[in-house]
Structure 1
């Protein structure tokens, strides 16, 4: 201690510039200094991750992060003071602290600038937060003029790069905010604050400004590329568990199935039609009425035998998700217990009225209130009722709706609500992280036999660790909204949260619904085209889930077999199931290898033309998807709703309408193929050189997608559900033109034994020069492992075309018993 004091005093006495002392103190993790009346602390969490803390001198700053779970590692660094600058070098990056003005900058080890704070960029403004004296805080940075940044969460702005805009970040129905961005220079920045925050970027500065904060607290991470940054973000905020295999099949939903008979009959109908289906979702009101909102019990007389309903669904080899919320009606036991413990928040939330009417009839207020999910005891109470009311029936997963949560008719005093961590204002944006995490943690404590699966409407940094797939909220049924979903999902994935989906067909479809061609909106060609194109996009997202209101979405609503729309829907669902071995193996790459399933093209291609591309992406690392996102056969319909709350049903019309469309016509779409590689048209096997835009002929039942040369894709059997058939007779498709590698992953499908090493992998390697495919020795073991199987090897270039389900020509039929084998094609 004496030596430390001596060092500080020595530096204080020796260093001075313009009357400002240039002193610093070494800490266990980095350095600490008082500069211009502010404490500045730099902490190395790893050689690549650095935490920066700033707060007014004389105050204290103690914070347990809600997002960050990593404990800082002991990291070696070299410090060197030259003039007013203090340089701290780890083995990976250099951090420079200006001891005169307190600015921090980040560089590569060869002194290339990564990110600089703006001079005088840290601002603390006194703020009274519901009686607590604190600050509003902001920090500004200076980015390169041509630098592109990605992330910030799910944003419905249609933008890929998030430069040159202002975003007010308060969680709502269709915008899920994550205070994180990453740069095409290979670094990321996480602003660790949960209060309402303004992100702003213009040519002069890039800043985060938050309403409440005892100090500035952010993490800089150097990853070298997008995957590297994502790996650092997950190292900091949590890793991604495996989802059950069945979650990657097709899911049918609607707002809402009104009886247990209706729910079960949908599954039976799919089975009768021979159309694949893995899950059905039961939406709200199975609890009866709004006074019993989210009662977590089957109080509705239309659900008299819930165990029989669930057993019936399971006997049909399907799974059930059920709607649960973050709020409770006043006649529920949960409400009373939480109220007695002061664990409810008083602001307007959905539903506002006790009547199921729109607009809400406020003569009959529902009294529904949001619970304090920040409170660990409140989360215990939530799970207690969820466990005894629903989980014990054998329900397979949770549809956690309104996890942002819904906050309607917002008043400033609403944010004064007290939570376990202080005001609601202080922790507002982390609400979804808390409520979703509470369910995940509790289910993990009581069961390892069933993987947690949560479908949720909101997210915050770190939520990837909680077995959740976030959907983009109650979006409109419009082409513009479909276009917005691609960059929304990609930017969310670039925040390190890989599982995302959207309501296939859009949620609000009332504009299409009334008396079209003598039927509902499902018979309206304008909606048929939009729904089908959305479904074709949805087949290449982490969860393929059809859902919405106003227009029913089941395949049989759109026609019958032999009709173009029905056949195209069926073809798309079958395509999804054929890709399951590829998808599930890519899920393992997420859990085990820090990968992402939806990949912005900037992640994989050094091509300036794709850096800001918002209409194409990779699904896994082999398949280029170019969804059709403009109407080709029908006019585009504009639908407007309240972006914050959704729920505006004034888009219907009672006038009969007709529209005749010839869906057999061929159309065209421009597709850009990234440079540096050759591409195969999936449907024809025609090969294209990358770095060019092509005019691609399209049909109603196919969208353009391409396979990268050097890819190896396992092709699954035709099935009715994910686990119907073992993968003992897979087709292995090899796309020539470059060396390639793919690892097939298999496990028990729906438990956590993989965490104990109970899984197996088979790696396929293609040597393009030698035209040799090597199948490795099978590694690992688990209960039910396939010991004898066949692989049907198909070389793409040897066919004029490969069908969507199975190839007509097989180049090699290989019997495989787990030992390495090489074949020449």
Structure 2
């Protein structure tokens, strides 16, 4: 074992040994081994360093230069634990860094690293020649390289995480994943494996993961036109949607209208706002097997292969989104292929590329490939389960805070409340109807039209902002969040303050690029990588907004989206250079540093109130800044609702615990908003919102938002309608579950827990769950099964092995390890509770701090032993960081049916010193329907000391 007393002797020994060798050299420090490799290839590693972080975490760094650059990281916290003791093991061709839990072996010749368990079982190996360096594609700067690292991968391995993609994929094994910040796409280079390891890739540039080949144009396939002639597809650009076969005919091998600059390639005579474009013909492979097609689209898009409809989607024209679909292709026979695109606008987008099969790239390996960095740098995290991997991620990047309790309640928002009166009337209506609500959101454009970035309120529409805020707080007992952009119109006072310091990205100003407001205004974003700029941004929003009493921050366009739909190269030019270096090197890091400035600013200004940030983009480490993320400007459709489920699950597996989606979807099809939906469209709109509200109730943050039609429940449907009744029922259920939900929130901080849990987290031994992307656990107990098809009245679901399952609403029992269809009528989302669960239900409340939970009903689900920790603190401040919180441990022993409410641990100001617990036992042979007001003959008056009771049939009041 190594200690500081031995370090100089060890270094001297290593250097002397290296001098006697013609191969590699290695140097030891107190926490690392650095190897100098014999290769002189400019693209190969010259230096490889293994650094011990914890017993289960090892950092790998590498460079093609003679010396590794100084360590510097935005994502890694500056509060890493002290390194543990470790030992070096050396063989003729390898050196090992060995902790009590983990071994990392590095080849003296190639620098390839293999990770093994303490017992020597292989966990992960870098692929042969897996490390590679090269010149960045668009950057000529000494000491900056493009970087690639490949790893070997078993064919049956499943790979998750990587932020929030919108491709509909859950398991990324075998696929190409583009980690580029974009509206609704969040790049988080943290990977978790079904083999219970994780990799945190410490790089800020655009990164390709998995099959890192760049997708190819369609012309790389053998193409045949509508007449069977080889070479191209037949394209028809028709200006009348009702006559798609009549229009300009082209022979095309590329469909590449991905960005603004590409739209000039579209035939000038094509009326994009009213027309339809089709591509028809055949595709024939150059290699047999499954081909992955990568599409970017907006407007209406349909794709057929051999007459089968594969894609039928829609997105608002100004905000294209990604999609991946698979088509098996053959070298011997061509496949009929057709695309139909209705752009709906003069600025709509479509591109289609593909990747052919390659077993090495898809089955045997996966790769991280980044555009730019000073060195290759990643952290390997080992664990026994995915919770341990997430905990390792947070050890590296920082703890997630306990969110303010009110943030776990319901938020109402729309795009947007145009006046003070609209906002106040909305809160008043919720209170009048006794529908629970904790937060109202003022979205963008509250400022005068020509003063974006001023953070001023337009006095004609918001005559008394302070009075509005006070009324929300004092009369309605709610909180209010404000939208803030990092964007400034040229010439306003806040712009000048940044400009005189050189803290603005100026290229958009030089370009004289106008935005979409009125006749258009010229603007740009501030450089959040500059510490002084971050301080100035906080100073401005503090003076204009926080001082007025706003509770929380909605940080929009934090990719940063300086110009929507610009090409990636153009986007880089618009944020170049940053204070830290080129935009190529730091492209993906903006949301992290932007959130950092607000968090540090508010905590310095007011250390008492918890910071709460909602941001459209994210990056590793953002959880330590009180930040949550929403899934961006998505469309109001059932297929988009379906796609949000794997997006949210992978976001959670990326180590980021707080996520939300626009309930109802953000932008809507014409049938819903011109002027109001009616008939079948109205029925579909109400059902879509009902199903989305049901799902949103059980996501970490519960929030409705979107374009017109308005998303308030009373604007969706009248009282008495099934949509209204269902939405209000699940809203009230969430508030009854607040003791459960807030306890889980506490566990996020104290135990590095994850709220929204893919089944692989809790049932990893059950291989059937690896591909399940539409079911998840909400906390430890509740299995959530969203319904995402129009007019569906049932859905197929899997009950994981290792537990029995109780229908939450009826109490009816179901054995695990079964796939079956379950009822899902209009007003119901199937919810099941795992046997052994203990769920605390609180009183009926209309906001989270309306009254303390003096009476709690404990629903105990028999069949297995169980436990739960009831967590409480002061709700809105950071005193929990100083230990001011309490935990009441609750355990259930199933064989003898005993429930123990243990000694309370801890205390805080305002803590209830006594309370009442009512106990409800639900068993396989004694189903009990959900009723939070159900009476029981077992009532415990709890004063903080342990109480043990035996449960039996006598628990239930016979009158029930």
Moved more, 476-485 or 327-336: 327-336
Check 1:817–1:192 CA distance in 2 against 1; reply closer, same or farther (3 A cut): same
Q: In structure 2, what is the Cα distance between the partners aligned to 1:669 and 1:120?
A: 47
Q: CA deviation at 1:138?
A: 0.9
Which residue in 1 is equivalent to 2:823? 697
Which residue in 2 is equivalent to 1:764? 890
* Partner-residue secondary structure (3-state), 1:484: helix
Which residue in 1 is equivalent to 2:135? 126
CA shift digits 1:615-655 (9 cap, x unpaired): 1000001110111122225xxxxxxxxxxxxxxxxxxxxxx
Moved more, 809-818 or 615-624: 809-818
Whether the 8 Å CA contact 1:596–1:620 is kept in 2: the answer is: yes
Q: In structure 1, what is the Cα distance between the partners aligned to 2:534 and 2:587?
A: 17
Match of 2:198 among 188, 201, 212: 188
Whether the 8 Å CA contact 1:515–1:521 is kept in 2: the answer is: no
Whether the 8 Å CA contact 1:790–1:815 is kept in 2: the answer is: yes
Which residue in 1 is equivalent to 2:259? none
Match of 1:356 among 502, 514, 517: 517
Which residue in 1 is equivalent to 2:18? 12
* Partner-residue secondary structure (3-state), 2:372: coil
Q: In structure 2, what is the Cα distance between the partners aligned to 1:212 and 1:815?
A: 62
| 1:618 and 2:784 correspond | no
Q: CA deviation at 1:33?
A: 1.4
Matching of residues 104-123 of structure 1 within 5 Å: 104-123=113-132
Which residue in 2 is equivalent to 1:151? 161
Match of 2:696 among 510, 535, 538: 538
Q: CA RMSD in A?
A: 2.1
Match of 1:214 among 374, 380, 386: 374
Which residue in 1 is equivalent to 2:30? 28
Which residue in 1 is equivalent to 2:537? 382
| 1:227 and 2:382 correspond | no
Q: In structure 2, what is the Cα distance between the partners aligned to 1:116 and 1:89?
A: 16
Which residue in 2 is equivalent to 1:366? 521
Check 1:564–1:550 CA distance in 2 against 1; reply closer, same or farther (3 A cut): same
Matching of residues 576-587 of structure 1 within 5 Å: 576-587=734-745
* Partner-residue secondary structure (3-state), 2:561: coil
Q: CA deviation at 1:515?
A: 5.6
Which residue in 1 is equivalent to 2:712? 554
Which residue in 2 is equivalent to 1:410? 567
| 1:176 and 2:186 correspond | yes
CA shift digits 1:10-33 (9 cap, x unpaired): 4335545xxxx1321112212111
| 1:64 and 2:66 correspond | no
CA shift digits 1:654-687 (9 cap, x unpaired): xxxxxxxxxxxxx222121000111101111111
Matching of residues 426-441 of structure 1 within 5 Å: 426-441=585-600
Q: CA deviation at 1:499?
A: 0.5
Q: CA deviation at 1:716?
A: 1.5
Match of 2:52 among 44, 50, 68: 44
Whether the 8 Å CA contact 1:512–1:526 is kept in 2: the answer is: no
Q: CA deviation at 1:706?
A: 0.4
Q: In structure 1, what is the Cα distance between the partners aligned to 2:506 and 2:581?
A: 15
Match of 1:103 among 105, 112, 121: 112
Q: In structure 2, what is the Cα distance between the partners aligned to 1:355 and 1:521?
A: 33
Q: In structure 2, what is the Cα distance between the partners aligned to 1:576 and 1:264?
A: 24
Tell me the number of residue pairs that the alignment of Structure 1 and Structure 2 aligns.
780
Q: In structure 1, what is the Cα distance between the partners aligned to 2:203 and 2:93?
A: 30
Match of 1:529 among 679, 687, 690: 687
Q: In structure 2, what is the Cα distance between the partners aligned to 1:804 and 1:447?
A: 42
| 1:255 and 2:415 correspond | yes
* Partner-residue secondary structure (3-state), 2:378: strand
| 1:488 and 2:614 correspond | no
Q: CA deviation at 1:414?
A: 4.7
| 1:274 and 2:434 correspond | yes
User: Structure 2: any 5+ residue segments left out of the alignment?
Assistant: 1-6, 41-45, 212-361, 952-960
| 1:510 and 2:669 correspond | yes
Q: CA deviation at 1:574?
A: 0.7
Match of 2:582 among 423, 444, 447: 423
Which residue in 2 is equivalent to 1:629? 788
| 1:815 and 2:941 correspond | yes
| 1:161 and 2:171 correspond | yes
Q: In structure 2, what is the Cα distance between the partners aligned to 1:433 and 1:144?
A: 33
TM-score normalised by the chain length of structure 1 = 0.91
Match of 2:464 among 286, 293, 305: 305
Q: CA deviation at 1:112?
A: 1.3
| 1:296 and 2:422 correspond | no
Moved more, 337-346 or 452-461: 337-346
Q: In structure 2, what is the Cα distance between the partners aligned to 1:8 and 1:680?
A: 62
Whether the 8 Å CA contact 1:177–1:459 is kept in 2: the answer is: yes
Whether the 8 Å CA contact 1:681–1:707 is kept in 2: the answer is: yes
Q: In structure 2, what is the Cα distance between the partners aligned to 1:743 and 1:9?
A: 53
Check 1:569–1:203 CA distance in 2 against 1; reply closer, same or farther (3 A cut): same
Whether the 8 Å CA contact 2:169–2:646 is kept in 1: the answer is: yes
Q: Give the greater-gyration-radius structure (CA).
A: 2
Moved more, 64-73 or 614-623: 64-73
Check 1:352–1:266 CA distance in 2 against 1; reply closer, same or farther (3 A cut): farther
Match of 2:631 among 460, 472, 476: 472
Q: CA deviation at 1:243?
A: 0.8
CA shift digits 1:255-289 (9 cap, x unpaired): 00000111010000111111111111001111111
Check 1:805–1:446 CA distance in 2 against 1; reply closer, same or farther (3 A cut): farther
Check 1:512–1:252 CA distance in 2 against 1; reply closer, same or farther (3 A cut): farther
CA shift digits 1:518-544 (9 cap, x unpaired): 757997111111111111000001111
* Partner-residue secondary structure (3-state), 2:641: helix
* Partner-residue secondary structure (3-state), 2:54: coil
Q: CA deviation at 1:546?
A: 0.3
Q: In structure 2, what is the Cα distance between the partners aligned to 1:391 and 1:199?
A: 40
Q: CA deviation at 1:581?
A: 0.7
Q: In structure 2, what is the Cα distance between the partners aligned to 1:397 and 1:2?
A: 52
Q: In structure 2, what is the Cα distance between the partners aligned to 1:378 and 1:5?
A: 43
Q: In structure 2, what is the Cα distance between the partners aligned to 1:514 and 1:236?
A: 46
Q: In structure 2, what is the Cα distance between the partners aligned to 1:200 and 1:562?
A: 50
Match of 2:802 among 673, 676, 690: 676
Match of 1:330 among 473, 484, 490: 490
Which residue in 2 is equivalent to 1:784? 910
Q: CA deviation at 1:131?
A: 5.0
Whether the 8 Å CA contact 2:32–2:52 is kept in 1: the answer is: yes
TM-score normalised by the chain length of structure 2 = 0.79
CA shift digits 1:20-69 (9 cap, x unpaired): x1321112212111112411111111121111111123355123100001
Q: In structure 1, what is the Cα distance between the partners aligned to 2:553 and 2:860?
A: 38
Whether the 8 Å CA contact 2:15–2:27 is kept in 1: the answer is: no
User: Structure 1: any 5+ residue segments left out of the alignment?
Assistant: 358-363, 634-666
Q: CA deviation at 1:293?
A: 1.0
Q: CA deviation at 1:415?
A: 2.4
Whether the 8 Å CA contact 2:862–2:924 is kept in 1: the answer is: no
Q: In structure 2, what is the Cα distance between the partners aligned to 1:533 and 1:242?
A: 29
Which residue in 2 is equivalent to 1:795? 921
Q: CA deviation at 1:128?
A: 7.4
| 1:81 and 2:242 correspond | no
* Partner-residue secondary structure (3-state), 1:792: strand
Which residue in 1 is equivalent to 2:548? 393
Moved more, 192-201 or 122-131: 122-131
* Partner-residue secondary structure (3-state), 2:25: coil
Which residue in 2 is equivalent to 1:604? 762
Moved more, 704-713 or 126-135: 126-135
* Partner-residue secondary structure (3-state), 1:50: strand
Whether the 8 Å CA contact 2:673–2:708 is kept in 1: the answer is: no
